[in-house]
Amino acid sequence: MTPARIVVVPGKGVVPADTPILTADDLGVLRGDGIFETMHVRGGRPWLLDEHLDRMARSAARMGLALPPRAELVDLAEQACAEWPPGVEGALRLVCTRGPESGATGQDPRPGGAAPVTLFATLSPVGQASIEARRVGLAVVTATLGFAAGARTDAPWLLGGVKSLSYAVNMASQRWAAEQGADDVLWVSSDGYALEAPTATLVWLSGGTLCTVPAGTTGILPGTTARWLLDHADRLGWTAAERMVTPAELARVDGAWLVSSVRGVAAIRTLDGAALAADPERTARITALLGY
C-alpha cells in the first residue's frame, strides 16, 4: 500500500498531513521567497543528506535567509524517516521560507533582518511518472531560458545556483513541454548552450567521458546526483568532466540523461524529435551505480 504523506514541524514533530502550517502572509507563498531541498529516501534514510544540507546552507547564505541550525534540519529529516516504511522509495522535502510578512520581527525581509523563518519537512511517495521514466526514457524539447550562459555569474540577484522556492518558471517550462507532447524541457541559453532541465541535471557520455555542465560559470543548480555520479564515473570505466555543450552536439554523443534526486536517471530518448544514442544497458549500469 502507498504510504500517506508525512509532515513534520519543528517543536511539534509529525502532524496530521492536512495541518495548516503557513499563515496567509508567509513570504514563501506571497513571493516564493524561501529555499528547499528534495532528497531520495531509500532504506528508510535520506540519500546524500549532507550534500543536500550543504547546498541548502549555501542557498540560505545567498538569499540572506536565517536557516535554522543544521542539527534541527537533521532532526526534522530523521523524524520524517522514522515514520516511513523502509522498503518504499520516498521524496523528502525540507522547506524554509522567509516567514510571515507581519510577524513580530518579520517586517524586514532584507538580508540580516531578524524575520523568523517558517520551516517544515514533508515525505511523500516517489511519483509513478518518475519511476516509469527510468525505464522508458524521456522525449525532451529545448526551450530558451532567455539569457546567455554566463549572465548569472555577475548578477547575484538572479540567484544562479540557488534552490529557491520560485519554481513557477520551471513548472511553466514543463507544462509547455507537455503541450508539445514531450516529457520535459532542456533549457538552452541565448548563446546556444544546453544548461539543465527545470528539475534535473543534464549528463552525457562522450568518448568514454561522462560530462555535465559547469554550475559555477553558468548559474545552473549544482546537482547532487550528477556530482555523485561524476565522482564515481570510474566505477563504470569512464572519466568525468564539466563541459559546455550545444543541443546539436548532443545529437552526436554516446548517450544523454537527465538525473535528479527523486527522478534518478532517465535517458533522453529524443531531443526536439530527433533520436539520441540510447543504450539501455548503459542506462541500467548508471541506474544501478546510483542505487535506484
Question: Scanning residues 104 to 163, which ones bind ligand PLP (CB under 6 A)?
Answer: none
Find the shortest distance in angstroms from Cβ 90 to ligand PLP.
14
Cα–Cα distances (Å) from 82 to 1, 6, 187, 290, in that order, read 18, 10, 37, 23
Which sign does the torsion angle of CA 84, 263, 29, 45 carry?
positive
**Residue 97 interacts with ligand PLP (CB under 6 A)?**
no
Which residue type does 203 have?
V
**Residue 212 interacts with ligand PLP (CB under 6 A)?**
no
Q: φ and ψ at 111, to 5 degrees?
A: -50, 135
Is the CB of 119 or the CB of 230 nearer to ligand PLP? 230
**Residue 221 interacts with ligand PLP (CB under 6 A)?**
yes
| Contact of 238 with 208, CB cutoff 8 Å | yes
| Contact of 121 with 8, CB cutoff 8 Å | yes
Rg (CA), the chain: 19
Find the shortest distance in angstroms from Cβ 224 to ligand PLP.
4
Is the CB of 94 or the CB of 200 nearer to ligand PLP? 200
**Residue 184 interacts with ligand PLP (CB under 6 A)?**
no
Question: Scanning residues 246 to 265, which ones bind ligand PLP (CB under 6 A)?
Answer: 260-261
Q: Report the largest interatomic distance among the alpha carbons of the chain, rounded to a whole angstrom.
A: 59
CA-nearest of 117, 22, 16 to 67 is: 117
**Residue 46 interacts with ligand PLP (CB under 6 A)?**
no
The rounded distance, in Å, linking the Cα atoms of 249 and 274 is: 12
**Residue 225 interacts with ligand PLP (CB under 6 A)?**
yes
Of the residues 174, 218, 224, 283, which one makes contact with ligand PLP according to CB under 6 A: 224
Of the residues 139, 196, 210, 213, which one makes contact with ligand PLP according to CB under 6 A: 196
Q: Where on the chain is the footprint of ligand PLP (CB under 6 A)?
A: 38, 196, 198-201, 221, 223-226, 260-261
